[in-house]
A and B are shown apart, each in its own frame.
Chain A
Amino acid sequence: MSSLEIEIPTEAIGMLPIDHEQERIRDFSHALKRLQVIRPAEIDTDFTDERPVPFAIKRFLAFEHEDTLTFYTNPDVLGAPVDRVRFSPRISRVGKQSRHGVFFGDLQLGPGLQVPVAVKPHLDEERDSCLDEYFNTLAITQLGMSTLVELGFIYGDREEDPAYSITVLQEGLSTLDSVDWSSFYPDIEEHPGMLALWKGAAYQAAKLHAPGNRSHGDLAGRNVGEKGGALSDQTRVILLDWESATIGGQPPRDAEVRYSHSHSDITTIVESMCRSTDVDFRAGIGVFAGKSGDWWQGFRAVFLDSYLERRRQILDQTAADAATVRDVNEELAELEKSLQQDVAMYQDLALVS
């Protein structure tokens, strides 16, 4: 043993911290060895259904689902048949705030075909969320939102079967939780690149909420990414992780329904910006945490003004009827009032703590 190596006493081994990440990767490799079927998932989402994605999942479970552990591939991405799958992990800094424990690596899908992937485990009672993730992501892509590309998902019939959703890794993509925001606020005008990223996020959220019957469901900073990253001359923001999304098949009944979708998402952004990165429970990305000043005005300048401006632009461009215009204006007025209260609450909480 060299002088730099440390000998660990046998009795101390039980006290070593468990490497959950290594466990997750080991479990995934075991799951790949247990795969009995690899086949394309053929069910399409029908947007004339009242609840398009839950209905698509029902049809999948009724007509396509295998009894054994199966890798269902996205036929739009993997055209050729696949007969075996192997995984080799990669080391990264991004994606570490994912509450699911996303990890990255390469999937070897037979001779000569290797795809870099991000793997998201859906464990125990959350197994079925991998179906939500896959079908929501496909649906939101069909509706014109840009996001990650689904490669497929692993799912089995038995309760002990693991479940994973697998997306194509975009090496140039990084999420807002991988940015150090500590120097951004209050001197936001001195950081035009960072401001442009938030403007892109606001525009994406506005595009999602404009029809009034859609929400992301978990719009924290870790689920907002810069697509293309390096390989773009402009800031191109996308939203990620659609497993909690709601996608309605019918127009919203009234302003209240519209508000329920937009407020749930934007208040999550607010919380993410206001909370510190240093806490274990519901860590934020630390835009406002630890800073003095009027956080509400800061939030308006960084995100909300761009969001509201874009929502009104879309309303103008879509030649909406008078009732829709009234509903959207009512929704946005109520949204602004609620968010002001939300930001004030987080600033008060920060002062107390």
Chain B
Amino acid sequence: MGSKLQDFLESQVYPSQIWQSVIRHGKPVNDRNRSLAVLGNVFLHLHPIRLPRYATKYTYTWGMGGLSFLLFLVETVTGILLMFYYHPTASLAYGDIKSLEFDVPFGMILRNMHRWGAHAMVLAVWFHMFRVFMTGSYKKPREFNWAIGVILLTITLFMSFTGYLLPWDQLAMWAITVGTNMARAVPLLGHEGPFSNLLGLKIDNDIRFALLGGTRVGGPTLIRFYVLHCIAVPFVMSFILSIHFWRIRKDGGISGPQSARLANLNKVTQVKAAEGKKKVEGIKVEAPKAE
């Protein structure tokens, strides 16, 4: 039976135009086809085809970057599903959350996954940063990607913060009230901040007012935070995320001890870079010898 199906697949399906147009490599049973698979798949293409063995060890990477991305995807999927059941209106939002628990099939687990996933994502991002620091991976040539990473971290926190308001309960309202009260004190831009009188700022025209859509947390805040949480910030985040991923590959893939990184780079480029450096800084740098 199995072999019959296999025969059918191999004689009829795999060679067909449809199959060939989608899957461009052979069965991933040997290194060549697997490499082609990684190369030809837009998602797997985030990885190089080959990488040093230490980079596949959990104790080296802790998988925190990958987990952050996984949780980002979980948040996206559960978030989209939650949007089907939610009105960002002060009079309806709370009841919608209650209905998620009591009425909607899988509503509670959906909401739990979204909330706990968000908390876990904050942790994952923090510990991703911690690991990158502890292995010194921010060093040349990855300085810029580190900066992108720091920005992604603040965006993650902002994502979580804007989402915190949406259940529209006391916990949400007062967490956001406390959080946004800090915006009162922005120098120049907040009405209680130093020098704000120079711009003539009052409680109803400062930066906090712009964020809340009012002088205190209310219906307009809910719709603002909803739009920020569901559209604006995820858009910015995906954009910066793609830069982050792109730069990992462009900066020589996974970090590692000097020799490993150098081996990854094209030797000609390496020599040129070394010469260039020599000229500019007058420091003697040994170009690696070809193996």
| Chain B associates with chain A | no
